[in-house]
Amino acid sequence: MSNEFYIGYEDTPPRSLSRLLGRVALGLAVILLVIVGAVAASQSPAEPGNYDFGVEKSFEGILVEGALPLLQVGTAPGAITNYLLVGSGKFGLPIFARGHGGEHVQFRGSLIQKGDAVMIEMNDPTSFAAVKTPSNEIASDHSIGPVSLTGELVDTKCYFGVMRPGAGKVHRGCAARCLHGGVPPGLLLRDSAGNALVVMLTGTGTSKLDLDPEWAARFIRVEGQLLMRGNVPVMEVRRLELAD
């Protein structure tokens, strides 16, 4: 132990303590590098996704209301793209777009995309215009059949790209808030290789799913009818329960 006495208000510490402090600072730097590096390197990689925050594009198509609000772009079989629709912040289809189901509409919004899943954040009410002519060009669903699936309940707006990562316990409060606000719920499924697929969850017919938002980020088991609505996998849920 050094026999020198340290007094903080003096301009310089004793020489031996100066050397020690230098070594301590160096040691702390090394420990910091190792620990922070290990923590950072051990993170699960965030999945790819995109959110054109602050970038608005024009969209035009048929507004499909009901259990799962969509913008259907294109009418020819095989050339249809369904865009999921949500509002700004943690809300589902905005009020200004409601009541226009089946109409041709145009508006500006920000694109959210993960793989084949595409979603539009309708954040510019002034750009919304509806062609009042009702359309009969809404594509029909392709039924796959009854299934039972188990996965994580996610809010699709965050999971598809607004937040990365947009799933898991840390994100749970946000997911619950989003589901409460009307963002369409999805069931996140993963295979053994970690590949992910999200199936949109609705009630049967045109009814929305009666879902407890507090189940967000928890594992649930759902039973119902699986179908493809254009490019969007959808499950009309007859029964659901917690599975974790």
Partner 1 sequence: MSDHYRAIDWNRQKRCYDAALAGLVVMGAATFLGVTAWVSPESTAETLILRTTSVLAFFLLHILLAIGPLARLDPQFLPLLYNRRHLGVTIFLLALVHGLLATIQFHALGDENPLVSLLTAYSRDYRVWSDGRWQLAHFPFEPFGVLALGVLLILAALSHDFWLKRLGAGLWKAFHLLIYPAYVLLVAHVAFGILQTERSPVYPILLGIGFLVITALHLLAAAREKVRSTTAAAASSEGFVPVGAVPSLEEGHARVLKVGRQRVALVRHQDRLFATGNVCRHQGGPLGEGRVVNGCLTCPWHGWNYQPEDGCSPPPFDEVIPTYRLRMIDGELWIHPVPLPTRTASTGVALPENGSNPQPKGAS
Please, which residue, 27 or 146, has the CB nearer to partner 1?
A: 27
H or E segment to which residue 156 belongs: helix 156-157
Q: What are phi and psi of 222, to 5 degrees?
A: -125, 145
Instruction: Count residues binding partner 1 (CB under 8 A).
Output: 58
Return the number of other C-beta atoms located less than 10 Å from residue 240's C-beta.
Answer: 22
Q: What is the 3-state secondary structure (H, E, C) of 5-73?
A: CCCCCCCCCCHHHHHHHHHHHHHHHHHHHHHHHHHHHCCCCCCCCEECCCCCEEEEEEEECCCCCEEEE
- Residues numbered 174-193 forming contacts with partner 1, rule: CB under 8 A: 174, 176-178, 180-181
- Residues numbered 132-171 forming contacts with partner 1, rule: CB under 8 A: 163-165, 168-171
Could you say which of 148, 173, 206, 228 contacts partner 1 (CB under 8 A)? 173
Q: What are phi and psi of 242, to 5 degrees?
A: -70, 145
Indicate the SS3 state at residue 180: helix
Residues 90 and 178: beta-carbon distance below 8 Å: yes
**Binding status of residue 125 toward partner 1 by CB under 8 A:** no
Applying CB under 8 A, the span of 14-22, 68-76, 101-109, 192-200 interacting with partner 1 comes to 14-22
Please, which residue, 105 or 159, has the CB nearer to partner 1?
A: 159
The letter for the amino acid at 111 is: L
Q: What's the closest the beta carbon of residue 138 comes to partner 1, in angstroms?
A: 29
Q: Find all residues with CB under 8 Å of 188, minimum gap 6, and list them.
A: 151, 152, 153, 154, 159, 167, 196, 197, 198
Indicate the SS3 state at residue 137: coil
- Site pattern 43..82 for partner 1 (x: CB under 8 A): xxxxxxx---------------------------------
Please, which residue, 118 or 163, has the CB nearer to partner 1?
A: 163
Q: What's the closest the beta carbon of residue 198 comes to partner 1, in angstroms?
A: 16
Could you say which of 15, 32, 115, 134 contacts partner 1 (CB under 8 A)? 32
H or E segment to which residue 147 belongs: strand 142-155
Q: What's the closest the beta carbon of residue 71 comes to partner 1, in angstroms?
A: 22
Q: List residues binding partner 1 (CB under 8 A).
A: 1-2, 5-13, 17, 20-21, 24-25, 28-29, 32-33, 35-49, 88-91, 163-165, 168-174, 176-178, 180-181, 214, 216, 218, 244
